[in-house]
A and B are shown apart, each in its own frame.
Chain A
């Protein structure tokens, strides 16, 4: 606090009159307000976990840990297992990462190392606009345009060339985990690009000059110096993008085909945890059914929480080493 307050504290007439004076001063109230607002934010974060835990008590008691490994989801017999959806979430988001990482890093490199000054802002702005498009509009576009035009032919191609691998097994569907993965890869691109671009921009110029002066080509400079230097930040970006992909709901719900069965193939329709909740929550008639859906939410919450904490630690570590603004 300011020097003035310290001066006043030294005189300290009496505790009571000091308190009255400070109350009249207004700062105590202001401070209290800020503390309350801050505590509210923390409280909400905790309350989300608590509510999910409390409201999923029924299925947790009924199924225990076998909830996570059960492959059946049958509201009629009230038999619930989350494995197909865990698999769907992990498969789609990891596959989305696989596609998005090279493209996202490419754009980040383009924006930070290659693009002329006048091109950086417009391209960066376009990527931000992509982030602003609502999920449900991605879904609409995916459902009516992207799936029939791109996903179906691509699925048939993958099946005819790589069909011997279980994840590319026939039959080929339009709305499928592949469709969800592709749409997700577009949706997580902005996160990846924004953070990894900031990481690249924060790398000291000397790193580049050193590499170039030793005769490295620009590409060698990027792969041998910049990427290792900013690796933890880039990893942070990738993991944050993974978190976004796992929680993405509307677009996935609209293109994934909504199928409860556990099949390995990427070309089959499936369900992610988020899309299952979106689709069935309002139809949940019994308490156990709704509880099971909330427990799916709990699992999803736990997964994204872990992923986000890891990502934050990675990004914070870079931020502490080199001054930068890493915001997601």
Chain B
């Protein structure tokens, strides 16, 4: 009893010796913690604000024609963004074709030998690539492909996007491979399966859900990239499916419409933005949903 009372207690000391000081600390605590909560609310404002405006100003233009028609010149009513939808699909597909195989295979190297010189270099390069601004990827694709070919092309756009996508897919694949129980891999190796068979038939299926999540996040990211499209895919007011020709993409179309001086086009910018944000956030939702579902499944096991 007496020990308890002589033991130093800052709270009690503060209370008795300087109750003003104690109260000030309490108030600082309450105010600052409340401000942290306010900060969380502040983060919502722009997101909600953007979504509300894109939907409110974009939905009026949305009808079937907007999806399946080609753009009309300024002032001519109607018209759609079919060319940009097709173009985005083509450019993103090219990016996936280049990026996914390379990042998956490289991820296996990093997973199996993370601490070798090469493994460290790969991880370092991945980090570097994920930090390089997308416009720089555009310049890179321009110097490598557009200058060599002599013209803008869907291919160069896809190439730029592939470089942006690679670190995302590589990273998630590596993380997902790490989540696969080690015993699974060891079991396969112990049965005499070669490394490649283990990788292809055991590790890959086991990590598949996560890898697909990563790919979808990567696609969501590159589908919204306009900056590298400016001088690679370049944009095209007509429908084109030729990968050696300039091609329209959704984000680039939003930009072109938005900075135009015509009211009509500005309205179309909102509608195109609505389509784009629908695709990107849709992908994001599905990917996160799959990831959450996967996590719950693993936990139940």
Contacts and interface: CB of A to CB of B under 8 A. Distances in A.
Q: Is chain B a partner of chain A in the same complex?
A: yes
Interface of A: 1-2, 4, 25-27, 29-31, 33-42, 44-48, 51-52, 54-55, 102-107, 109-111, 113-115, 123, 125-130, 132-141, 143-146, 186, 189, 193, 214-215, 217-220, 240, 243-244, 246-250, 254, 274, 277-278, 281-282, 294, 297, 300-301, 304-305, 307-309, 311-312, 325, 327-328
Contacts, number: 278
27 contacts: A4-B190, A25-B194, A34-B108, A37-B103, A38-B110, A41-B170, A44-B125, A47-B144, A48-B163, A51-B140, A103-B42, A109-B36, A125-B288, A129-B281, A133-B277, A134-B277, A135-B224, A137-B50, A186-B46, A218-B33, A244-B131, A247-B132, A274-B135, A274-B227, A278-B227, A281-B231, A304-B131
Contact of A294 (B14, B35, B110, B143): B143
B276 interface: yes
B76 interface: no
A311 B124 CA distance: 12
Contacts of B122: 38, 41-42
Nearest to B200: A30
B44 A308 contact: no
6 nearest A-B residue pairs (beta carbon) = A247-B133, A134-B224, A106-B39, A30-B196, A215-B10, A308-B131
A138 B137 CA distance: 20
Interface of B is mostly: helix
A220 to B, nearest CB: 7
A297 B54 CA distance: 32
B29 A215 contact: no
Nearest to B125: A45
Given A249-B135, A325-B175, A141 B54 contact: yes
Contacts of B221: 132
Contacts of B284: 128-129, 132
Nearest to B230: A278
B162 to A, nearest CB: 9
A250 B227 contact: yes
B126 interface: yes
Interface string B24-68: 011011001101111110111011011001100000000000000
Nearest to A40: B102
A29 B102 CA distance: 15
A110 B36 contact: yes
B11 interface: yes
Given A31-B195, A134-B225, A186-B46, A277 B135 contact: yes
B109 interface: yes
Contact of A278 (B40, B54, B135): B135
A133 B280 contact: yes
Contacts of A281: 138-139, 142, 230-231
Contacts of B47: 126, 129-130, 133
A233 to B, nearest CB: 15
B139 A4 contact: no
B6 interface: no
Given A135-B226, A144-B266, A308 B128 contact: yes
A68 B14 CA distance: 57
A102 B43 CA distance: 12
A247 B261 CA distance: 27
B121 interface: yes
B258 A193 contact: no
B196 A254 contact: no
B43 A193 contact: yes
Nearest to A1: B195
B136 interface: yes
B50 A277 contact: no
B135 A133 contact: no
A34 B106 CA distance: 5
A254 B39 contact: no
Given A4-B190, A139-B255, A281-B142, 4 more contacts: A136-B251, A137-B276, A141-B54, A278-B230
